[in-house]
Amino acid sequence: MKASRFIKMIVWLFSLLLTNTSMANQVLNNIPENYNKASKFVFYSHGFIVEGDNPMPIETKHGWGVYDFPGIKQALSDARYTLVATHRKKNTDPFVYAKQLSEDIRSLVKNGVKPTHITLVGFSRGAFITGLTSHYLQDIGVNTILLAGCGRLISSKHSDIQVYGDVLSVYEKSDAAKSCAKLKAKSTALTSFEEIEINTGLSHGAFYTPSDEWLVPVKNWIAAKMNLG
């Protein structure tokens, strides 16, 4: 009887461990209701083509192919932090969305989450949103990763926009969206800035799938900045 109870307890503990691991690796559409001060968060903002109902749209004009939003979310997820990757509605206003996202992040910080434990990641239109969010959080300075998305951030129309905290830029050599050097130059209160050029020959489509070329340096940078160990 004792042996049977012991085995049942072991099975129960193993099941609990698997459940907790699964929950920790869960990808959420919004910030969870329950978290603690030690929680760590990564926010991924997808490109414009994904806005709407289809999580895997196909870009045919330039031949960039399928935008694998589900695959990118899975690849970016990690048991050491909560990944929040919202599927935005069609024609979302980036300024309104970024403002709301910044307020949500302020609530995390107000409740004890360290700014260094929060990382924003965005590609293309999502990078513009990410840059705007960093701008709105200038007094907090969370971690910011921009993937092929400095075009609008450095345009004369948005000359007032700056990014703050620790910033990583990743761009594709064959893409029209190039270096964020001009954004770095006008962002006078940066804590740090790093930039990586990848060379896949896939233009903007290089970020449509969770390829190691951009994903590995991004996850390594996140791990270093958020002290994931």
pLDDT confidence tier of residue 25, bands split at 50, 70 and 90: low
**Domain count of the fold of the chain:** 1
Q: By the 8 A CB rule, do 79 and 21 touch? A: yes
- 3-state DSSP assignment of residue 94: helix
Domain containing residue 75: CATH number = 3.40.50.1820
pLDDT at 198 exceeding the cut of 50 = yes
pLDDT bucket at 23, cuts 50 / 70 / 90? very low
CA distance 68 to 135: 28
Q: What is the pLDDT of residue 157?
A: 86
Residue 220, domain extent: 26-225
pLDDT digits (tens, 9 = 90+) for 137-150: 999 999 999 999 89
Rounded to an integer, what distance in angstroms lies between the CA atom of residue 187 and that of residue 217? 23
Inside any domain, residue 21: no
Domain contains 41: yes
The token duo for 60 is 């045919």
Evaluate whether residue 13 is within a structural domain.
no
Q: How far is CA 198 from the centre of its chain?
A: 18
Name the band, by pLDDT with cuts 50, 70 and 90, for residue 113.
Answer: very high
Give the Cα separation of 143 and 150 in Å (integer).
Answer: 16
- pTM attached to this predicted model: 0.88
Residue showing tokens 């940078």: 221
- 14 lies in a domain? no
The per-residue pLDDT for 147 is 98
